[in-house]
Amino acid sequence: MSGSNGLARQQIADRVAQEFQDGWIVNLGVGMPTMCSNTPIDTDIIYHSENGVIGYGPVLPAGQEDLHLVNAGGQNVSLKPGAAVVHHADSFAIIRSGRIDVTVLGIYEAACNGDFANWKVAGAKGGGIGGAMDLAACAKNVFVILEHTTRDGKPRLLKECALPVTARGRVSLVATNLGLFKPLGDRFLLREIAPGVTVDQIRAATGAPIEVPADLKTIQTL
């Protein structure tokens, strides 16, 4: 494979955060998704985390942490004015009733049929689901973030997931270091390409057909 490695992790998160619309209730998964809240965007976002925090703000600097308050990733966040706290059953009532406008999840694999996998690695007996299955099944939009290939270069964007899925047919946006993709059933639409990356490079690194629009845009990094 030749060409650029594409976007850095924060840059992928930045691009995803630009999809958030004014007034959206946003749930960010652990890992790269959390970085979306670092992106400077001028939309009014309400961050929800599984443990019942509605309206949290930036992570507090060391020494200033409120030890009673963490987000879903265990980070000691702050609260914005107007925040509210509910218990776990009410927090997932919010999720299951479709009030989360978007969940952004870090995942292992995405398929062009809209499936994705993020809770169980090959050969493991158990798994780590957390709130991902509830979010994936019920959020209005499911965005996923992942490195385009495994460490040994195998594709993570596939025709069908090889790992056990988290939810079926729910993904509407896939963001990787190489580009921004929309699952279209039997193929991925390449919505935008990372700077310095080529379409051939993406095709070689992807386990599913790629549709390339005539007016392919390049991702604008911040």
| CB atoms near residue 39 (< 10 Å) | 17
Closest to another protein by CB, 83 or 199? 83
Complex with another protein: residue 30 or 193, whichever CB lies closer: 30
Instruction: Tell me if 166 sits within 8 A of 136, measured CB to CB.
Output: yes
Q: Which residue has the tokens 């992570």?
A: 59
Least distance between another protein and beta carbon 121 (Å): 4
154 binds another protein (CB under 8 A): no
Structure-token pair, residue 100 = 């989360």
Q: Which of 50, 160, 192, 211 is catalytic?
A: 50
φ and ψ of 38, to 5 deg: -85, -20
Q: How far is the CB of 81 from another protein (least distance, A)?
A: 3
For residues 94 to 133, the per-residue mask of contacts with another protein, x marking binding by CB under 8 A and - elsewhere, is xxxxxx------------------xxxx--xxxxxxxxxx
CB of 111 to another protein, least distance (A): 13
Whole-number Å distance between alpha carbons of 187 and 157:
10
Question: Distance between CA atoms of 79 and 60, rounded to whole angstroms?
Answer: 10
Q: Is 40 in the site for another protein (CB under 8 A)?
A: no
Smallest separation, CB 17 to another protein (Å): 16
Q: Candidates 40-48, 152-160, 190-198, 209-217: pick the segment binding another protein (CB under 8 A).
A: 40-48
- Dihedral angle, C-alpha 221, 113, 101, 47, nearest 10 °: -60
Whether 50 is a known active-site residue: answer yes
The 8-class DSSP code of residue 149 comes to B
CA distance 212 to 199: 8
27 is a contact residue toward another protein (CB under 8 A): no
Of 180-209, which residues contact another protein (CB under 8 A)?
A: none
**Alpha-carbon torsion (115, 161, 15, 56), positive or negative:** positive
Positions marked catalytic = 50
Question: Site residues (CB under 8 A) for another protein?
Answer: 22-23, 25, 30, 42-44, 46, 48-55, 62-63, 65-71, 74, 76, 79-89, 91-99, 118-121, 124-134, 137-138, 164-168
